[in-house]
């Protein structure tokens, strides 16, 4: 039998099954009379959970490095989050429910908020909320799950879902790979699996009912295919693929230090996408020299209030100083699918067409100028590019640039140094921007194409809607023609153009992008070497585009 899931971490695993049983735990739900005592129990549980997470942080630091250990710092922040605290205390105080039930209800509300967002990365943060909820409830009830560290023989782990705390406790010596019913490619467990180089397949519906402990399976973490009780012929084939995969990964490491140059000598920039300064370690480990997209909104989403100018300045400075080449920082891209509760952005009928990104910033100018000040102050520490998101009109880019110039004049008047060599660019995410890219190109130093939103808006397909997911396709001729139009208009105006969406790492599109004349590809750090390998095998003089 062959099943299909979502390939979340490449590689082949062959072995017998270990099924992570779900607890038959019934959440205690009852009324309390002493609400102060129940709130104290909740606060004590938070303290104990924080101590547990510190232990997990140290373990992760040793096994997967600081970049990925940070998730357990984030979990500590989530446990201390005022929203969670206030909601739990409110349920205990107002509704007189016990702490475990209050934690369950409050975390469900917050998790649902993340799941409603459009960004896959933010959607998967719902799993983090559930993880800390499970930990707190386990402490409050004394019903803790068995640790996966107890696995002591080679197996492929099968579970309803895995939380980061589960994944980091897995013994890499024995867990050959894992499969989950839930989860996505951007879940922290999937990200950790890729870092730990454990093959993983996620999103396999009803997998727990289709396997037993006597099953032998093969998983292909790239295609998402699962082979249950394979034949001798299948075993021989996949063992050979397993060896081939090991050799391929070793060869990729040999590409460190080599050029991103095609057979006919065309050099392409390959840069990395990051969400915080902590991601830099992984960027450098994968031999990227620059940052093509720093998603600055994550600095805003990690706290309970707007980040100060000083906090932003330190974050931007750290990244700019660490990188040899240019760092492109996208200004705040929030609203719509990315909620900041402290901004009180009203709910909208269609948030993806609503009050978001540059529209928020041009409306809330004081907030925007704090970010611009921090960016400009940090610019003196290296090569900075400032990129404005979600531009759809010429008026928007002109207004954003005017605010940037105004902020620069104010800083210089205060005696604060600002670099004279800052590139100013914008994202092409809407068909409107693509269609007037000849005019927009006169206003900026570069374009960066956000293929995720450009595909979604061009095809009128919600990429998170499973019913129409098959229609979401960056290979679609309409999307590719718009990208080609943007490249041609950019080059005619003498500016460079890159791609920073998911498609930048799609090696089946690399040749097409190079044929169009794309100057830069910005990808997740683990994709850098594979994209480099693909580029080194292409002869652009032989590319024949059919658009």
Cβ atoms of 68 and 60 closer than 8 Å: yes
Residues 6+ apart with CB under 8 A from 476: 455, 458, 459
- DSSP letters of 252-318? HHTTTT---B-TTS-B-EEEEEESSGGGHHHHHHTT--SEEEEETHHHHHTSSSPPPHHHHHHHHHH
CB 452 within 8 A of CB 501: yes
The C-alpha atoms of residue 63 and residue 289 are separated, in whole angstroms, by 25
Q: Is the dihedral of CA 359, 360, 365, 368 positive or negative?
A: negative
Q: How far apart are CA 422 and CA 446, in angstroms?
A: 11
Beta-strand relationship, 2-4 and 225-228: antiparallel
Structure-token match 């130093």, residue found:
445
Structure tokens at 452: 């995720």
Q: Report helix angle 35-64 to 99-115, nearest 10.
A: 50
Cβ proximity of 97 and 33 under 8 Å? no
Take residue 319 and report the two structure tokens written for it: 């990244």
Q: How far apart are CA 535 and CA 501, in angstroms?
A: 18
Kindly report the backbone phi and psi dihedral angles of residue 228, in degrees, each rounded to the nearest multiple of 5, phi listed first.
-95, 130
- CA–CA separation, 119 vs 123, rounded Å? 6
Cα(483)–Cα(475) distance, rounded to whole angstroms?
Answer: 11
Q: Are 515 and 543 in contact (CB under 8 A)?
A: yes
The active-site residue out of 68, 75, 361, 500 is 500
Q: Which of 68, 75, 188, 361 is catalytic?
A: 188
Instruction: Find the radius of gyration of the CA atoms of the chain.
Output: 24
- Phi then psi for residue 179, to 5 deg, are -130, 135
Q: Is 68 among the catalytic positions?
A: no
Q: Is 500 a catalytic residue?
A: yes
Q: Are 283 and 301 a contacting pair, CB within 8 Å?
A: no
**Which residues carry a binding-site annotation for phosphoenolpyruvate?**
295, 330, 452-453, 463
CA distance 447 to 492: 13
Binding-site entries: 295, 330, 429, 452-453, 463
Q: Report CA dihedral (378, 383, 389, 393) to the nearest 10 degrees.
A: 110
Q: Which residues of 508-520 are buried (b: 16+ CB within 10 A; e: fewer)?
A: ebbbbbbbbebbb
Q: Which residues fall in the annotated binding site for Mg(2+)?
A: 429, 453
Structure tokens, 542: 């032989």
Report whether 12 contacts 218 (CB < 8 A): yes
Active site residues: 188, 500
């Amino acid at each position: 039998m062959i099943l299909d899931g979502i390939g979340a971490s490449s590689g082949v695993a062959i072995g017998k099954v270990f099924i992570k049983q779900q607890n038959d735990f019934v959440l205690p739900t009852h009324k309390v009379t002493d609400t102060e005592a129940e709130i104290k129990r909740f606060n004590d549980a938070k303290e104990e959970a924080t101590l547990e997470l510190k232990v997990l942080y140290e373990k992760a630091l040793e096994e997967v490095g600081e970049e990925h250990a940070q998730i357990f710092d984030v979990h500590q922040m989530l446990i201390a989050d005022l929203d969670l605290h206030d909601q739990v205390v409110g349920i205990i105080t107002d509704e007189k429910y016990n702490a475990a039930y209050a934690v369950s209800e409050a975390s469900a509300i917050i998790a649902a908020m993340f799941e409603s967002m459009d960004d896959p990365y933010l959607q998967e943060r719902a799993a983090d909320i559930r993880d800390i909820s499970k930990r707190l409830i386990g402490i409050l009830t004394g019903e803790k799950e068995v640790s996966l560290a107890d696995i002591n023989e080679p197996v492929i782990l099968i579970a309803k879902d895995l939380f980061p705390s589960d994944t980091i406790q897995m013994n890499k010596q024995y867990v050959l790979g894992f499969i989950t019913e839930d989860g996505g490619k951007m879940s922290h467990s999937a990200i950790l699996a890729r870092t730990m180089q454990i093959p993983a397949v996620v999103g396999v519906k009803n997998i727990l009912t289709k396997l037993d402990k006597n099953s032998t399976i093969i998983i292909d973490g790239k295609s998402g295919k699962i082979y249950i009780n394979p034949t001798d012929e299948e075993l021989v084939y996949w063992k050979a693929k397993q060896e081939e995969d090991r050799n391929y990964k070793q060869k990729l490491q040999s590409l460190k230090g080599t050029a991103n140059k095609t057979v006919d000598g065309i050099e392409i920039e390959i840069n990395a996408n990051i969400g915080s300064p902590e991601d830099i370690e992984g960027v450098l480990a994968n031999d990227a020299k620059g940052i093509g997209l720093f998603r600055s909104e994550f600095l805003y989403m990690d706290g309970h209030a707007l980040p100060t100018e000083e906090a932003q300045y330190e974050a931007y400075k750290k990244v700019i100083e660490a990188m040899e080449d240019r760092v492109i920082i996208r200004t705040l891209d929030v609203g719509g699918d990315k909620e900041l509760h402290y901004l009180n952005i009203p709910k909208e009928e269609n948030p993806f067409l609503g009050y978001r990104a540059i529209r928020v910033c041009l409306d809330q100018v004081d907030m925007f100028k704090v970010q611009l000040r921090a960016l400009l102050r940090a610019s003196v520490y290296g090569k900075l590019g400032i990129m404005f998101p979600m531009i759809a009109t010429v008026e928007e880019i002109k207004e954003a640039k005017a605010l940037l110039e105004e902020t620069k004049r104010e800083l210089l008047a205060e005696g604060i140094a600002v670099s004279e060599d800052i590139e100013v660019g914008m994202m092409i995410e809407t068909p409107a921007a693509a269609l007037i890219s000849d005019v927009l190109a006169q206003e900026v130093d570069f374009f960066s194409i956000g293929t995720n939103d450009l595909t979604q808006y061009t095809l009128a397909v919600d990429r998170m809607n499973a019913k129409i997911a098959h229609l979401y396709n960056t290979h679609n001729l309409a999307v590719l023609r718009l990208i080609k139009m943007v490249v041609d208009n950019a080059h005619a105006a003498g500016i460079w153009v890159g791609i920073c969406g998911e498609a930048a790492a799609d090696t089946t599109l690399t040749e097409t992008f190079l044929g169009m004349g794309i100057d830069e590809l910005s990808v997740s750090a683990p994709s850098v070497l594979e994209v480099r390998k693909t580029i080194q095998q292409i002869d652009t003089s032989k590319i024949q585009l059919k658009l």
